[in-house]
Amino acid sequence: MPDPVAIIDYQKCHPDRCDSGVCAAMLECPNKVLRQEAFYEFPFSHPSHFCRGCAKCVQACLFEAIRVV
C-alpha cells in the first residue's frame, strides 16, 4: 500500500481566515509534515517528512481544505 499523503486544496484553504494567519492543521500534525513559510502564507506538505495518515490535520482545518489519501 502507498504511504498516506496529505493533500491541500488551495481553492478551500484560507490562511487569512485562520487564527492569526497560523494554519491550525499544521499545529496539529504530530510529524511536522505541514509547514508555513510565514504567517498568512499557504501551508504545504514537506516532502521529506513522513505522513502517518492520522487525519488530525483534516479534523483541525475548519475549511475542509485537507484530505488524506
By CB under 6 A, tell whether 68 contacts ligand SF4.
Answer: yes
CB 34 within 8 A of CB 25: yes
Nearer Cβ to ligand SF4 (48/51):
51
Question: What's the min distance (Å) between Cβ of 48 and ligand SF4?
Answer: 13
Contact positions with ligand SF4 (CB under 6 A) in 18-47: 18, 23-25, 28-29, 31, 33-34, 43
Give the SS3 label for residue 33.
Answer: coil
Task: Return the H-helix or E-strand segment holding 59.
Answer: helix 56-60
Beta bridge partner(s), residue 66: 8
Cα 23 from Cα 15, distance rounded (Å): 6
Q: Which residues bind ligand SF4 (CB under 6 A)?
A: 6, 8, 13-15, 18, 23-25, 28-29, 31, 33-34, 43, 51-57, 61, 63, 65-66, 68
